[in-house]
Amino acid sequence: MQRFRLPTLAGFGILVVAAALATRPALAAYPDKPIHIVVPFSPGGGTDVVARTLSVGMAEELHETFVVDNRPGAGTVIGSDAVAQSAPDGYTLLIATFAHAVNPSLRPRMPYDTDRAFAPVVLIARGPNVLVVRADAPYKSVQDLIAAAKANPLKLTYASQGTGTSAHLAGEMFANLAKVQMTHVPYRGAAPAITDLLGGQVSMMFGTAAAVTPLIQSGKLRALGVTSTTRSAAFKKVPAIDETVPGYAVESWYGLFVPAGTPADVVAKLNAAATQAAHSAEFAKRIQDEGLSISTGTPAQLEDFVHAEEARWKQVVTENHIKVD
């Protein structure tokens, strides 16, 4: 008679695991559900345009739906916090801007630590602000404006879309380096600031390219200088302010972040998809209208860029005693 031996406990365990692996469905590859890009601003602005245009290309690259989620408020903190608290699985992204690097200095009581709450994915685009005055203003150059500011301390005013924004801090840095005194006039958004500039209630504005370009083209505003270190391809005839005020540089920028702890392979997929989307003809044309240039790279390069921005603007915020309400 042939005898059959029962499997040992160890052998039985191996059989069970093998059976389970054989019957378990394969794990789905990332991504397998819609990806959300959180925009910490209201719909319709420059950041929203960049996010929506980029998401179209990324959806094509990753073969998945992208959802743009506008969560404005508190100088981008509300939207950023939503991402910081989300699962680190690659399905919630933040499109960050200038404010991402400035908020740690302006808002010491934020609900998250910027450097620890997020993982960098990729820098998308960079561009200058533009120093503009009314078309009939007496200032024809940056030198004219500096001379007027020195002759009349605090009389010249500059508008911004709010305390701590790029337009505000661009003016603060200008005053520091040019050694002049001017008066900051904050507004609740770029639209009312530009309205008062056109109406003559304020002297100038260091506006974003997206906000002021149509008015420059229509002849209602005069561009005196761009805030990049070199002349901008979007404003070829406009000198860089750095040509008159050495060391002056302010940039608007857009970058993608995910919650800290997101797997490296997921970050790599997002980086590749965003880079490909940013270099598409459609995206390039759209951001050119916003006065931006494509500037992609590795996650580490974005991290280094933001750390440098944080240090630079911390100095300006501290020296000028800037606080938000």
- The H or E element spanning position 207 is strand 204-208
78 and 136 inside one domain:
no
228 and 88 inside one domain:
no
Domain assignment of residue 145, given as a range: 128-243
185 and 88 inside one domain:
no
Compute how many other C-beta atoms are within 10 angstroms of the C-beta atom of residue 292. 26
Position 95: which residue type? Answer: I
Helix, strand, or coil here: 257? strand
- Mind giving me the DSSP string for 108-122? TT-SS-HHHHEEEEE
167 and 196 inside one domain:
yes
Tell me which of 202, 220, 243 is where a domain ends. Answer: 243
Q: Is residue 180 part of a domain?
A: yes
Beta bridge mates, 248: none
- The H or E element spanning position 260 is none
78 and 153 inside one domain:
no
Tell me which of 222, 243, 264 is where a domain ends. Answer: 243
Output the six-digit token pair for 24: 């378990």
Beta carbons within 8 Å of 16's beta carbon, 6+ residues apart: none
Domains held by the chain: number: 2
Q: Is residue 19 part of a domain?
A: no
63 and 201 inside one domain:
no
Q: Is residue 46 part of a domain?
A: yes
44 and 182 inside one domain:
no
Identify the CA nearest to 301 among candidates 235, 253, 243. Answer: 253
CATH number where 297 lies: 3.40.190.150
How is residue 27 annotated by DSSP? Answer: P
Identify the CA nearest to 129 among candidates 152, 90, 160, 88. Answer: 160
83 and 118 inside one domain:
yes
Q: Is residue 324 part of a domain?
A: no
What pTM was estimated for this model as a whole?
Answer: 0.80
Beta bridge mates, 126: 253, 293
pLDDT at 23: 37
In whole angstroms, give the CA distance from residue 65 to residue 282.
18
286 and 224 inside one domain:
no
CATH number where 202 lies: 3.40.190.10
Identify the CA nearest to 293 among candidates 254, 246, 236. Answer: 254
Residues in the chain, pLDDT under 50:
1-27
Q: Is residue 6 part of a domain?
A: no
Q: Is residue 186 part of a domain?
A: yes
pLDDT at 8: 46
Q: What are phi and psi of 93, to 5 degrees?
A: -115, 155
180 and 102 inside one domain:
no
To the nearest 10 degrees (0 to 180), the angle between helices 46-62 and 264-278 is 110
Q: Is residue 188 part of a domain?
A: yes
122 and 51 inside one domain:
yes
Burial of 47 (0-12, 13-18, 19+ CB in 10 A): buried
150 and 212 inside one domain:
yes
pLDDT at 198: 96
pLDDT at 324: 79
Burial of 323 (0-12, 13-18, 19+ CB in 10 A): exposed
pLDDT at 18: 37
Helical residues (DSSP H) of the chain, grouped into ranges? 9-23, 46-62, 77-84, 98-106, 114-117, 142-151, 166-178, 190-199, 209-217, 264-278, 281-288, 299-319
Q: Is residue 24 part of a domain?
A: no
Tell me which of 193, 223, 243 is where a domain ends. Answer: 243
pLDDT at 10: 43
Beta carbons within 8 Å of 109's beta carbon, 6+ residues apart: none
In whole angstroms, give the CA distance from residue 73 to residue 78.
6
